[in-house]
Amino acid sequence: MKIDAKKEIEQIIYFLKKTFAEQGVQKAVIGISGGIDSTTSLFLLSRALPKEHIFPIHLYYYKPDKKEIKEFVRYTGIPDVNLKMISIKSAVDTVSNELGIRNNELGNNNTRLGNIMARMRMIFLYDFAKKENALVVGTENKSEHYLAYFTRFGDEASDIEPIRHLYKIQVYKLAKYLGVPKKIIEQKPTAGLWQRQTDEGEFGFTYQEADQVLYLHFEKKVSIDELARRGLANAEIILDWVKRNSFKHHVPYTL
């Protein structure tokens, strides 16, 4: 899974420029969380489009670190006025109260509330894109895509995906080359859907483990038994996660 970061960046920038030109769209809207994927995507976008045409939007439910968000957006050269920070708490709470959902940090209610947050962010992003005649830029990586670690019609929704072809560990390599702040690179990946939530905490395995298994199994056609023989102890757990969530890639079912 080695990549030439410089060449990869050039390829992504070309892809972004070409797609925006083909669609006749000059502006981009991107949801930013302050995590590695959205930050790396924003850094790439800032090299492909005029900076005044990029609108980063931080849609938060819990208290955001506004200073940090402003600092890394400013680092890209995107004008401060283009950055929007909007609380989705009122909108999410209104919907969740209507549905009788309470955030009790336990089980299924957490997932339901998290799905509402993700879908509410989608509504905000697409409405702003409509207002500005812009494309919504997604921030999904290949690991999340294989694992189907997304909310349907929520964070999955986008018009263009600049890093979906890259595994998580490859995104880290790109981020370092692009000069993404060390603090962002070193923090634990989280969707920010509930307090103390982390991706790897939900998985029960690390992205480092997942990427090796996903790459070997899907791209090199290595069997589960062979993965186990190679010492990848969590291979069965990782591929079971993929299997359980694969339906997300196939709905809606049609006749």
Q: Average pLDDT of 136-146? A: 97
pTM, full prediction: 0.92
Q: Which helix (H) or strand (E) holds 58?
A: strand 54-60
Q: Which helix (H) or strand (E) holds 28?
A: strand 27-31
pLDDT at 194: 62
pLDDT digits (tens, 9 = 90+) for 35-76: 999 999 999 999 999 999 999 999 999 888 788 899 999 999
Cβ neighbours for 155, distance < 8 A, ≥ 6 positions apart? 31, 118, 121, 122, 138, 139, 140, 191
pLDDT digits (tens, 9 = 90+) for 188-224: 776 666 666 677 777 888 899 999 999 999 999 999 9
CA 14/CA 29 separation, integer angstroms: 18
CA 12/CA 60 separation, integer angstroms: 28
